[in-house]
Amino acid sequence: MIEVKGLEKKFGDLQVLNGIDETIEKGEKVVIIGPSGSGKSTFLRCLNLLEQPTGGEIWFEGEQINAPKCNVNLLRRKMGMVFQHFNLFPHLTVLQNITLAPVKLKLQTKEQANENGMRLLRRIGLEDKADTYPKMLSGGQKQRIAIVRALAMNPDVLLFDEPTSALDPEMVGEVLELMKELAEDGMTMVVVTHEMGFAREVGTRVLFMDGGNIVEQGTPGEFFANPQNPRLKDFLSKVL
Amino acid sequence: MVEALQRGMEDFARRFYQNLIFEDRWLYLLKGLGTTLSIAFLAILIGTVIGFALALCRISKSRILKGISGVYINVLRGVPLVTQLLIIYLVVFGSVNIPKYWVAVIAFGLNSGAYVAEIMRAGIQAVDKGQTEAGRSLGLSSAQTMISIILPQAIKNVLPTYTSEFIVLIKETAIVGYIALEDLTKVADIIRSRTWDAFFPLITAALVYLVITTVLAALLRKLERRLAVSDRG
């Protein structure tokens, strides 16, 4: 589904990604872990071109997305993204946050989008918040709404950029729970996170990034039980 | 003592009549006020359109657009407005017959555009970058993101500064007398030259300005409080 070949990203003189090769299949739940500055967020943001790669190729559903002729806006409809800081639109109600893109892009009528939006809100038990503004919500509620906002576009893959890092500890559970449900529904997911429990429980594959490279990967079982790379051993000994 | 007071009051009433009532001079002042306000109003409209376009150029990726808008803003903010007004009247439109009123509207509009541009640029850039990323990640184009997500928040950011720019503009129009346009200040000065009384017409004009700017400033404060309330959680 997603194929990455020799992906490089430089910010000025700083080389953040050193030629990454990786293939993500439909239905996989890939969890990316690593120390800060290892390039894991940059890697994720390259996948939907929020960062423009400075080298290499990214293919998505048979199309090279970092080729000049690729329509980035069409591509992004199929790749939802969830951010660390939620990035809900503060001037819009919760329901409007969810329906804005489908309606503006003429994928759904206003009625269809509202109906779909309410269905999504019911699913996360927040239908009573439809007409309130994001500032009235807790962090956990905001992030769950940000997730269903991405879902409203019916994406083929969801990218999560540290979705629980900005949350109070007691809010982390509800967000992870929703992500777990999505995983069980078969959604393809790429998740950058520090939640090792989530990686172990939900991930089908775990990648460890360091210094702009994927230095080790494997199924959660072998990855956590039997790490090979000394950097990974060191990292796991600190976070587990 | 009482007699002196009485004489003083009679004198005051006579001068009041001379300067404001006789020959419908209050109507003349009112007409001047109309000129003042309509120039300021039309200028802020033109300034908003120009300023918005310039602000978009300033934040665009194109070096050329950035450069052109930067030069425009620098020049129009770096030259005294009176000088600009005279240049537009005597040099740019020197050989064309355009009513002075419209010369003033254009001059103030162009100048106000430079200030509005900086206000808008700051307002747009104050919106968190994550908002753009969220919009774009949903598949919205950069124009759709700007219109539906960034601008509504930016406008809320700049509304107070924008309103105070309008208040400044109302006061600055007082220089249109330089091209013999009869705004509030010029009318007051004309009345002074007829009655040989500087106090009444000029103080009246000053009070009118003061009332208008005070009322606008009060409305502005009310607006700011309202916006602050909706920002609170």
Torsion of CA B152, B156, B159, B162, to 10 degrees: -50
Model confidence pLDDT, tens digit, residues B202-222: 999 999 999 999 999 998 888
Chain A interface with B: residues with Cβ < 8 Å: 48, 50, 73-74, 76-77, 79-81, 83, 85, 87-91, 100-101, 104-105, 135-136, 146, 149-150, 153
Task: Band the pLDDT of B3: cuts 50, 70, 90.
Answer: confident
State the residue for tokens 């509030």: B184
* Dist CA A45 CA A64 (whole Å): 16
Comparing B231 with B22, which gets the higher pLDDT? B22
Q: Which residue in B131, B133, B152 is closest to A50 by CB distance?
A: B133
Cβ distance A153 to B137 less than 8 Å, yes or no, reads no
DSSP labels, A110-171: HHHHHHHHHHHHHHTT-GGGTTS-GGGS-HHHHHHHHHHHHHTT--SEEEEESTTTTS-HHH
Beta-bridged to residue A30, according to DSSP, are A190, A205
The pLDDT value given to residue A16: 93
Mean pLDDT across chain A: 93
Lowest mean pLDDT among A31-40, A93-102, B224-233: B224-233
Best to test chain A binding among B128, B138, B227 (most A CBs inside 10 Å): B138
Q: Is A67 exposed, middle or buried (0-12, 13-18, 19+ CB in 10 A)?
A: exposed
Model confidence pLDDT, tens digit, residues B124-170: 999 999 999 999 999 999 999 999 999 999 988 898 888 889 999 99
- Tell me the mean pLDDT in the region A140-166: 95
CATH architecture assignment, domain B32-181: Orthogonal Bundle (1.10)
What are the domain boundaries of chain B? 32-181
- ipTM for the predicted complex comes to 0.92
Cβ pair A3, A23 in contact under 8 A: yes
Task: Count Cα neighbours of B17 within 13 Å in the Cβ-side half-sphere.
Answer: 6
Stated length of chain A: 240
Cβ distance A136 to B233 less than 8 Å, yes or no, reads yes
The pLDDT value given to residue B231: 59
Task: Band the pLDDT of B230: cuts 50, 70, 90.
Answer: low
List phi, psi (to 5°) of B89: -70, -45
Q: Report how far apart, in Å, the C-alpha atoms of A140 and of each of A60, A90, A99, A177, A203 are.
A: 31, 16, 20, 11, 21
* Dist CA B40 CA B161 (whole Å): 16
Task: Band the pLDDT of B113: cuts 50, 70, 90.
Answer: very high
What is the DSSP secondary structure assignment for residue A43, as one 8-state letter?
A: H
The pLDDT value given to residue B233: 43
Å between A76 CA and nearest CA of chain B:
5
Q: What percent of chain B has pLDDT over 70?
A: 97
Q: Is A185 exposed, middle or buried (0-12, 13-18, 19+ CB in 10 A)?
A: exposed
* Dist CA B117 CA B52 (whole Å): 6
Cβ distance A149 to B138 less than 8 Å, yes or no, reads yes
Cβ contacts of A66 within 8 Å, gap of 6 or more: A49, A52, A53, A56, A57, A58
- Tell me the mean pLDDT in the region A152-167: 95
Q: Report how far apart, in Å, the C-alpha atoms of B59 and of each of A49, B14, B55, B121 are.
A: 20, 60, 6, 7
* Dist CA B36 CA B225 (whole Å): 29
The pLDDT value given to residue B87: 95
Task: Band the pLDDT of A15: cuts 50, 70, 90.
Answer: very high
- Tell me the mean pLDDT in the region B50-75: 94
Amino acid at A77: R
Mean pLDDT across chain B: 91
Lowest mean pLDDT among A17-26, A51-60, A73-82, B6-15: B6-15
Among A227, A186, A214, smallest CA distance to A31 is for: A214
pTM of the model: 0.83
Q: Which residue in A74, A136, A153 is closest to B138 by CB distance?
A: A153
Chain B interface with A: residues with Cβ < 8 Å: 128, 130-131, 133-141, 144, 148-149, 152-153, 156, 231-233
- Tell me the mean pLDDT in the region A25-39: 93
Å between B172 CA and nearest CA of chain A:
35
* Dist CA B39 CA A33 (whole Å): 62
- Tell me the mean pLDDT in the region A189-197: 94
